Structure 1
Amino acid sequence: MKFTDGYWLMREGVQASYATEVADARVEEDRLTLYAPVRPVRSRGDTLNSPLLTVECWSPAEGVIGVRTTHHAGKEDHGPGFALRTGDGNGDVGISGGSGGGSGAGMSGGSGCAKTSRDGSVTELTSGSLTLRVDTDAPWRLDFTADGRTLTSAGARGTGFATTGPAGSGTPGHHTVAQLSLGVGELVYGLGERFTPFTRNGQSVEIWQSDGGTASEQAYKNVPFHLTNRGYGVFVNHPGKVSYEIGSEAVGRVQFSVEDQSLEYFVIHGPEPKDVLDRYTALTGRPALPPAWSFGLWLSTSFTTSYDEETVTRFVDGMAGRGIPLGVFHFDCFWMRAYQWCDFTWDPDVFPDPEGMLRRLRERGLRVSVWTNPYIAQKSPLFDEARREGYLLRRPGGDVWQWDLWQPGMALVDFTNPAARAWFQDKLRALLHQGVDCFKTDFGERVPTDVVWHDGSDPERMHNYYTHLYNTAVFEVLEEERGAGEAVLFARSATTGGQQLPVHWGGDCESTFEAMAESLRGGLSLGLSGFGFWSHDIGGFEGTPTPALFKRWAQFGLLSSHSRLHGSKSYRVPWDYDEEAVEVTRAFTRLKHRLMPYLLGAARQAAERGTPVLRAMLLEFPDDPACHTLDRQYMLGDDLLVAPVFSEDGSVDYYVPDGVWTHLLSGEQVRGPGWRRERYGFDSLPLLARPGSVIPFGRCDDSAEYDWADGVTLRVHAPADGTVTVTRVPAPDGRTAVFRTRRDGGLVTVEAEGATGSWQVLLTGVEAGGAEATEGAAACEDTDLGALVTAPAGTTAVSARVTG
């Protein structure tokens, strides 16, 4: 929120107090505590009748420095708080998120990652490459430096608090405030899945879960973490409402505030954006690796459409008969009876034999997803049971909290009650025993604050955090029943830590090209907030897409980490649009299946380092300023540039970074850096392989599940002389085939270790001459895309003589 009225004045009813200097400093081996008055102290009398801020500084992990500012330390912390991993990342340490206490709760369990030093009046706290510098003889200023340069600073008005409310209005609101400087040309990203302009500069952002669709400033996934193109990020450790002014109140600063007595934040150094995400997700949790089958195509019944088992069978038969491989079938809300969501019971009039239907779908090689939410409608037989047992959220007077939005008389499951959590999980467990494989965890944003939680949690802090309890409860029962590595959600809402529970989708967007573009902005923003896996409704949710929009969205959706056909009032089976929509869906589904060795490599990066599968160009090209604002294209993994087409006529503008890129579908060479304006038919779009990249293609295109290392084709794109590229291809049994590609002059050699069966090398971007195998026999042939070298089973290396 804004506190000032321009540069000079405060807004009506606002009184602000800011740290002015350091009155005292307690320096320990690995932490620093500063005592900051809010007015200059020139005599002993100035120490009276005036606040003194306590500012604690420490490091929870290498390259990360925490700052906790406290005004009054006596406020009780009722939780919840984010569970953070400190030190080496092997243990969860609950770090209290700014609700007061002042006792160093945020500094519990010292990590041993920092050290302090003093030189006269200057004190420094250093953690890895990041240093916090304070001059106790100068006006108040916290400087965060790395590699000999200042990343950001909290100077005048950078640390303090503000009270709000007109005189005589009772207890005023108390907001703890921080401001960090923005450098010239510095851009801010993240803060969750936001559909507003991609760079946050100039925006006011409220970290507050809302069911607001994708066309407003509200967001389903709110994450109090931002990063910048200057090599650092900032995480505000508060699960409740955090208000941001990003160059929108003080234009040269990022301001964030909480209505609380204290505020805790962490400055996280890179130096590259990927490094920032690595350190942030090490602190807040890394994504689980979704099962391979989840990367296939999902088809939904859609929301309010009419469907039964006959409809489902017709859809499944229609996909199979048209050669479109299908991996997952999803049943949306009306698999249950109207007015009774959620009672976890199949509508007997529509699905009289759910176990048999699920068995029949499984026999066709399909997984099954069903829709859920954390609400219990009054008409549901479960309502009375949950009310009687105390499983529903209550008002201060003891009544069950209810309203009529979404479901008449619905109540909310109180997941802070362990018994309620187990009860809810048992309902899901029964569905898994029937043959369901995973759950779409919808909603979780509409959480009231005029309530009393079972464990006494602060309602304001629980509003955002509730979704994490909800999704965690569902994910845990999937892991228990299906085993580690087989759990996957299709979740709409999330906050910090939610990235551990993939997958998330973009929510309710319109069926327009503009909504398709805003969905991409949301996905890029979420990826820069630590989430590795993301999807969206192909064709849009609200309305019915035109055939052109459906085909373009199908391309985009099938070049995302996860792909789902889903709508509101109309089906999303491709033959409802035109026959070309069938061809496009079939071609790009099969392309995605062949890309599984590559996509699984990107997925492992997400799980191991927090790097998203679908990446803003900034992540791969931080040194190219032209990439810093791009929001209509992305990198899929390390090496594939994707520019979706957002126009009826197939025209697209996109930027190509430096080097010679290769169009994956045509073999055309594209040289950067520079902008290109092109027009594409529905069978293609800009899909470019990075210069020197090696993209592994699997042999199978009819399923996402197969032995990806058996029969793999390595597409080698214009390698530079003297380079070596290592490509790892996983196998379902846990083995990994490793291929090392190097170029020495005109000779390209690929060495294989652990490859199963035959494998191939496709050289593109060079003219190939003869080829020879160093072991076994190899054949070389010219194709439309380049020279193809085939290595029979057992071959450990092949070489090809090339020119160009």
Structure 2
Amino acid sequence: MAESGMPRRRFLIVGGAAGVSGALLASGQAVARSGPRTGGQAGNGATGPQAHTRFEQSGDSVRLVVSATASTPGYTVLVAKSRFRITTLRDGKVVLQTTDGVSGSSGPAAFQTDAGTWATATSVTGAQWRDGTLALTLATTAPGSTVTYRITPAADRYRMTWSVQGQAAATQVAAHYLVDSAGHWYGQGEAVTAAGAPYTDQPWPLDSGTVRDTAMAPAEYLITEPFWFTQRGTGLFVATEDVMDVSMNDVQQGVFGYTLTGSAAMDATVFVERTARDVYENYVGITGTPAKSDAPAVQYAEPLWNSWAQFYTDVSQDSLLAWAKSLHDAEVPGHTIQMDDGWMSHYGDFTFNSKFPSPKAMSDEIHAMGYDFGIWVTLWINTDADNFGYAADHGYLLKSKDDPTTPGLVTWWNGTAGIVDLANPDARAWYVGNLQSLQQTYGVDGFKFDTRFYDETCAPYPGHTALDYLALGAELCDQFDLQGAGVRIHWTGSQTYGFVTRQVDKGTDWVSLRAAVAQNLAISTVGYPFVETDMIGGSLGEAPPTKDVLVRWAQAASLMPLMYSSSSPLGVSNAYGSQQYDQQTVDLYTAAVRTHGRLAPYIEAQVERAVRSGEPIMKPLFFNYPEDDATYPIADQWLLGDSLMAAPVLADQTRRTVHVPPGHWYDVVHQRTVHGPVDLTGYTADLSQTPVFVLLGTQDTGTLMSALKR
């Protein structure tokens, strides 16, 4: 099914303090960056290009002055001795600053002791510069304990590693920064907020909201990364496999902080560049760029039609065929009819229930209409499934961490289940064999993989770690056509797999549409370029979208890398309500899909560019126009590639303000040239119009003008 129930129960990996980036290098997953400077492995000690560093010490501070190079701006790290604080300066101006080390506050080096109390480093009692590393000894509020803190600078970043020494045994470690010191903040990916994120809210920039994710980790259900970057050209990367507690304006207003909830040491890197985009490129240098795109060209050119929001689990053979036939007869383009949750006899049994009396005939009829046929699958086998006993008896399920002689049982939205252990070669072969049997018997062309590949309550297979299950899941998915549904795999290094990334479920209203747009920007700018919103119109188990929401969502999605569809523009009827649409809805939805199809050659070129460099396909305006301060808070416009700017209407209105960045832009709706930077207030666009602008004078201008010609 779509992920409507899953995010409410997040899946965690409790790891150690070792940096995940070092493991990525060892496995060959991290590659040299392809950005304008030579990157490196911040979490493993090999950093960017070396530059001259000058060490200075006075009575109240310690200073590292890193000189500029031909490709880096240079910077200064100023360490206040009392109260302990780290300030990063570029050209003499503050671009990032920690909080102060004060008793009872959220300090720059805070830790929880084995007694359950929090302490913090307060002052510098010793400083030594040797062999390119500044070693600090810090006094703390924990009696008899100090912090050993090391800063290792390079031309475009500095690495910070620290741990607690003495009587107190640290069980958690944390660092905190002043939000305003760096301007606006971005990164992290899908956020969690009290305002409804990640389902109906996504702060963009992050500091515009109150963010709190207490379970951010490699196996978390959300697409997240331990990486943040800022308007002032700084960034943070935490090298960890641990579960993190991340807060922006939540624990303390105006403070950003992150806690490693199962570690006794911290390993983090601060990037210092000229622009936010440069920082992103540094992080991609650590993660590696996509090795390929898992989706072929047709899946970028036409929508995937998935049954989830149209029917939810009430889907049947008759309803699926009627839905597919109505789309086909209305000539709404699409490459695949994909049946979501609702077909299995039991969860984990690869047999159809009684709602599907003739699955092969159903598949044949879908193929006869010119579509591929796909189905939803999961590695989670419910205890009432026929396959559960077989898999348990053969040792195919992940074992319980508490009792390794029994399968680990996990609770999800559909009951209690065991999870197929992909690290067990026999279990993996058995599971793959079941999928191949579905393909051969019923003509299934591909799959939508749902749920996670691991749960933290389980024990990994001997010789494996919890983090290995991300790679194992990727290897499994790579054997099959994902049909444009992609898979939700994330964390530093997962960018190399090149999967399409689908969002978590969204609501069916205007605020959810706006959240979907902002969330695509958030996911794109942590290294996942092949993004799509949740199903057009939303799929969170709510009343079907209104006509205007459905049309405006389709128009917005037409200017993104992929379109992911479910709610039919002819009408929707499911357990949450019914909505019939008129012919104009069909016409406008189809027009949006056809616009996307005409943009396919341009989008495919951006896909190839993303594979070469990690460049986001859908990106914020400030990536290309860093000197235009007005671009940094914009959450409802984006660049598709470099030459197309989308500014769709995302509210129940026919007017909006459009910010046009520097350059000469052709306004497709009003057929005029606009000279930026300028704000177009009261810009009109009725339901049949989608505000879109083409940058004049580029090699893509002609292609785009032809594709968008009205």
Name the TM-score class by shorter chain. 0.7 to 0.9
Alpha-carbon distance in 2 for matches of 1:130, 1:90: 32
| Cα distance change of structure 1 residues 120 and 616 upon mapping to structure 2, 3 Å threshold | closer
Root mean square deviation, CA, Å: 4.2
| Cα distance change of structure 1 residues 570 and 268 upon mapping to structure 2, 3 Å threshold | farther
| Secondary structure, counterpart of 2:187 in structure 1 | strand
| Cα distance change of structure 1 residues 279 and 488 upon mapping to structure 2, 3 Å threshold | farther
> Aligned residue for 2:673?
669
> Aligned residue for 2:124?
none
Q: Percent identity?
A: 21
Q: Are the equivalent residues in 2 in contact too, given 1:602–1:638 (CA < 8 A)?
A: no
Q: Are the equivalent residues in 2 in contact too, given 1:115–1:125 (CA < 8 A)?
A: yes
Q: How does 1:268-347 map to 2 (within 5 A)?
A: 268-287=271-290, 288-289=292-293, 290-295=295-300, 296-302=302-308, 303-304=311-312, 306-337=314-345, 340-347=346-353
Q: Are the equivalent residues in 1 in contact too, given 2:17–2:265 (CA < 8 A)?
A: no
Match of 2:492 among 492, 496, 505: 496
Alpha-carbon distance in 2 for matches of 1:189, 1:492: 20
| Cα distance change of structure 1 residues 147 and 420 upon mapping to structure 2, 3 Å threshold | farther
Match of 1:540 among 521, 538, 543: 538
Q: How does 1:258-657 map to 2 (within 5 A)?
A: 258-259=260-261, 260-287=263-290, 288-289=292-293, 290-295=295-300, 296-302=302-308, 303-304=311-312, 306-337=314-345, 340-347=346-353, 350=356, 352-354=358-360, 357-395=362-400, 396-397=402-403, 398-433=405-440, 435-444=443-452, 448-455=455-462, 462=466, 468-469=470-471, 471-478=473-480, 489-492=485-488, 494-499=490-495, 500-535=497-532, 536-541=534-539, 542=541, 543-566=543-566, 570=574, 576-657=580-661
Letter of the structure 1 residue corresponding to residue 588 of structure 2: V
Q: How does 1:113-128 map to 2 (within 5 A)?
A: 113-114=49-50, 117=53
Alpha-carbon distance in 2 for matches of 1:278, 1:208: 26
> Aligned residue for 1:222?
224
| Secondary structure, counterpart of 2:592 in structure 1 | helix
| Cα distance change of structure 1 residues 167 and 524 upon mapping to structure 2, 3 Å threshold | closer
Can you list the C-alpha shifts for 1:86-125, whole angstroms capped at 9, x where unaligned? 6xx994369xxxxxxxxx99536x4684366555656667
| Cα distance change of structure 1 residues 161 and 645 upon mapping to structure 2, 3 Å threshold | same
List gaps (5 residues or longer) in structure 1.
1-74, 95-103, 211-217, 697-712, 717-760, 765-783, 786-804
TM-superposed deviation, 1:77: 4.8
Alpha-carbon distance in 1 for matches of 2:79, 2:281: 33
> Aligned residue for 1:152?
96
Letter of the structure 1 residue corresponding to residue 565 of structure 2: L
| Secondary structure, counterpart of 2:451 in structure 1 | coil
TM-superposed deviation, 1:135: 7.6
Can you list the C-alpha shifts for 1:109-160, whole angstroms capped at 9, x where unaligned? x468436655565666789627675689966665656677664355753653
> Aligned residue for 1:92?
29
Q: How does 1:158-237 map to 2 (within 5 A)?
A: 159-163=108-112, 174-180=171-177, 182=179, 184=181, 186-194=183-191, 195-201=201-207, 203-206=210-213, 208=215, 220-237=222-239
Alpha-carbon distance in 2 for matches of 1:520, 1:135: 38
| Cα distance change of structure 1 residues 529 and 93 upon mapping to structure 2, 3 Å threshold | closer
Alpha-carbon distance in 2 for matches of 1:516, 1:76: 35
| Secondary structure, counterpart of 1:652 in structure 2 | strand
TM-superposed deviation, 1:348: 6.5
| Secondary structure, counterpart of 2:228 in structure 1 | strand
Can you list the C-alpha shifts for 1:526-563, whole angstroms capped at 9, x where unaligned? 12222212222111112211122211122122222111
Whose radius of gyration is greater, 1 or 2? Answer: 1
| Cα distance change of structure 1 residues 420 and 154 upon mapping to structure 2, 3 Å threshold | farther
| Secondary structure, counterpart of 1:345 in structure 2 | coil
Alpha-carbon distance in 1 for matches of 2:188, 2:354: 43
| Secondary structure, counterpart of 1:538 in structure 2 | coil
Q: Are the equivalent residues in 2 in contact too, given 1:242–1:258 (CA < 8 A)?
A: yes
Deviates more, 1:317-326 or 1:489-498: 489-498
Match of 2:72 among 129, 139, 144: 129
Can you list the C-alpha shifts for 1:184-229, whole angstroms capped at 9, x where unaligned? 561111211223421222634326269xxxxxxx972222111111
Letter of the structure 1 residue corresponding to residue 50 of structure 2: A
| Cα distance change of structure 1 residues 527 and 430 upon mapping to structure 2, 3 Å threshold | same
| Cα distance change of structure 1 residues 188 and 569 upon mapping to structure 2, 3 Å threshold | farther
Q: Are the equivalent residues in 2 in contact too, given 1:83–1:92 (CA < 8 A)?
A: no
Q: Are the equivalent residues in 2 in contact too, given 1:370–1:438 (CA < 8 A)?
A: yes
Alpha-carbon distance in 1 for matches of 2:202, 2:328: 39
| Secondary structure, counterpart of 1:714 in structure 2 | helix
| Secondary structure, counterpart of 2:478 in structure 1 | helix
Alpha-carbon distance in 1 for matches of 2:522, 2:42: 31
Alpha-carbon distance in 2 for matches of 1:136, 1:508: 44
| Cα distance change of structure 1 residues 329 and 384 upon mapping to structure 2, 3 Å threshold | same
TM-superposed deviation, 1:297: 1.1
Q: Are the equivalent residues in 1 in contact too, given 2:77–2:88 (CA < 8 A)?
A: no
Letter of the structure 2 residue corresponding to residue 311 of structure 1: S
Letter of the structure 2 residue corresponding to residue 370 of structure 1: I
| Secondary structure, counterpart of 2:434 in structure 1 | helix
Q: Are the equivalent residues in 2 in contact too, given 1:299–1:564 (CA < 8 A)?
A: yes
| Cα distance change of structure 1 residues 580 and 177 upon mapping to structure 2, 3 Å threshold | same
Larger RCO, structure (CA 8 Å, separation 6 or more): 2
List gaps (5 residues or longer) in structure 2.
1-13, 32-40, 58-62, 102-106, 119-167, 192-200
TM-superposed deviation, 1:415: 3.5
Q: Are the equivalent residues in 2 in contact too, given 1:305–1:569 (CA < 8 A)?
A: no
Q: How does 1:700-779 map to 2 (within 5 A)?
A: 714-715=703-704
Deviates more, 1:297-306 or 1:663-672: 663-672
Alpha-carbon distance in 2 for matches of 1:363, 1:204: 48
> Aligned residue for 2:165?
none
Q: Are the equivalent residues in 1 in contact too, given 2:18–2:240 (CA < 8 A)?
A: no
Letter of the structure 2 residue corresponding to residue 512 of structure 1: D
| Cα distance change of structure 1 residues 680 and 137 upon mapping to structure 2, 3 Å threshold | closer
Deviates more, 1:534-543 or 1:264-273: 264-273
Alpha-carbon distance in 1 for matches of 2:221, 2:635: 18
Alpha-carbon distance in 1 for matches of 2:546, 2:457: 44
> Aligned residue for 1:8?
none
Alpha-carbon distance in 2 for matches of 1:188, 1:336: 44
TM-superposed deviation, 1:262: 1.0
When the two structures are superposed, what TM-score results if normalisation uses the length of structure 1?
0.65
Alpha-carbon distance in 2 for matches of 1:423, 1:81: 30
Q: Are the equivalent residues in 2 in contact too, given 1:82–1:239 (CA < 8 A)?
A: no
| Secondary structure, counterpart of 1:304 in structure 2 | helix
Deviates more, 1:590-599 or 1:559-568: 559-568
Alpha-carbon distance in 2 for matches of 1:186, 1:105: 24
